[in-house]
C-alpha cells in the first residue's frame, strides 16, 4: 500500500524541527506582550492587535496559538495567579513554625509582592474583562481561600485558634488582603518601606481576626 496510486497526498512535511522552537518562542512573546499590555493599559486597553504588534507577529498569528482573545488573557491571568498561589502555598507549608506565623507571612508576602507589581495587580484583582477571564479570577480567589482555610484548620487543630468556620474565614482573609492591596494602589506607587508597612498592617489584621474575641 506504500505504492498506492494516490501517493500525491502522501508527501507531507514532518511536524517540525527548529520551527517548533520558533513557534514556542512566538507563543512566549505573545504571552509576555499580553502581560505587558495588561500592566500598561489594563484589560480595558488590551486589544489583540496591540498585543500582536508588541509581540512582533501578525494579528492572525495569535489565533494560531490561542483560540480566542479570552483564552489568551485567561492564560495570562492564570499564570500570574498560579505563581502567587504557589508562593502562598510554599509559605503555608514551611515547617517548624506556628500556623499563625505562616499565615502572617503569607499575607505579608502576597501584599508586598502585589503592591510591587503595580497596575498588573490591580487588573488581576479587580479589573473586569471577559466573563471567561473572570472565571479564572474567581478560581484564583477560591484557590487562595482554600489555602488559607487549610492553614486556619491547622491552627485550630494546633490549639492556636478557637473553633471557627475555616472556609468562610479563609475567604474573608483573602477579601481583606486583596482590598488592602487595591486600596493603596488607587493612590500611587509605593516605596519598598511603604509596601512593607501596608503588608505588615494587613497581616496583623488577618492574624488578629482569627483569634477569639473576649
Near a second copy in 42-71, by CB under 8 A: 44
b/e for 28-65, b at 16 or more Cβ within 10 A?
Answer: ebbbebbbbbbbeebbeebebebbbebbebeeeebeeb
CB 156 within 8 A of CB 166: yes
Distance CA 92, CA 151 (A): 7
> Minimum CB separation from a second copy for residue 212, in Å?
7
* CB 134 to DNA: min, Å: 15
| Candidate residues 22, 49, 179, 189; the one interacting with a second copy per rule CB under 8 A | 179
Selected from 3, 4, 13, 191, the binder of DNA by CB under 7 A is 13
Q: Which of 26, 54, 139, 176 binds DNA (CB under 7 A)?
A: 26
Question: Cβ(160)–Cβ(100) under 8 Å?
Answer: yes
Among 87, 92, 182, 190, binds a second copy (CB under 8 A): 182
Burial of 198: CB neighbours in 10 Å, binned 0-12, 13-18, 19+? buried
Asked if 184 is part of the footprint of a second copy (rule: CB under 8 A), the reply reads yes
**CA–CA separation, 81 and 213 (whole Å):** 33
Judged by CB under 8 A, the residue of 52, 106, 145, 151 near a second copy is 145
Q: Which stretch binds a second copy (CB under 8 A): 6-14, 32-40, 88-96, 181-189?
A: 181-189
CA–CA separation, 202 and 211 (whole Å): 15
Contacts with a second copy by CB under 8 A lie at: 44, 127-129, 131, 134, 138, 141, 145, 164-165, 167-169, 171-180, 182-184, 186, 198, 201-202, 204-213
User: Which residues here bind DNA, judged by CB under 7 A?
Assistant: 8-19, 22-23, 26, 46-49, 57-61, 63-64, 68-70
Amino acid at each position: 500500500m506504500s505504492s498506492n496510486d494516490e501517493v500525491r497526498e502522501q508527501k507531507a512535511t514532518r511536524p517540525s524541527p527548529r520551527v517548533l522552537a520558533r513557534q514556542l518562542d512566538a507563543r512566549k512573546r505573545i504571552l509576555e506582550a499580553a502581560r505587558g499590555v495588561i500592566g500598561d493599559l489594563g484589560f480595558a486597553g488590551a486589544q489583540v492587535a496591540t498585543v500582536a504588534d508588541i509581540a512582533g507577529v501578525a494579528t492572525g498569528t495569535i489565533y494560531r496559538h490561542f483560540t480566542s482573545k479570552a483564552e489568551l488573557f485567561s492564560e495570562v491571568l492564570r499564570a500570574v495567579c498560579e505563581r502567587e498561589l504557589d508562593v502562598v502555598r510554599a509559605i503555608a507549608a514551611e515547617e517548624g513554625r506556628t500556623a499563625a506565623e505562616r499565615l502572617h507571612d503569607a499575607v505579608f508576602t502576597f501584599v508586598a509582592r502585589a503592591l510591587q507589581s503595580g497596575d498588573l495587580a490591580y487588573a488581576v484583582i479587580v479589573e473586569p474583562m471577559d466573563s471567561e477571564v473572570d472565571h479564572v479570577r474567581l478560581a484564583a480567589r477560591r484557590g487562595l481561600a482554600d489555602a488559607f482555610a487549610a492553614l486556619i484548620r491547622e491552627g485550630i487543630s494546633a490549639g492556636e485558634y478557637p473553633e471557627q468556620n475555616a472556609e468562610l474565614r479563609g475567604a474573608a482573609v483573602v477579601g481583606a488582603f486583596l482590598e488592602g492591596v487595591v486600596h493603596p494602589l488607587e493612590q500611587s506607587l509605593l516605596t519598598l518601606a511603604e509596601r512593607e508597612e501596608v503588608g505588615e498592617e494587613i497581616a496583623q489584621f488577618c492574624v488578629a481576626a482569627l483569634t477569639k474575641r473576649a
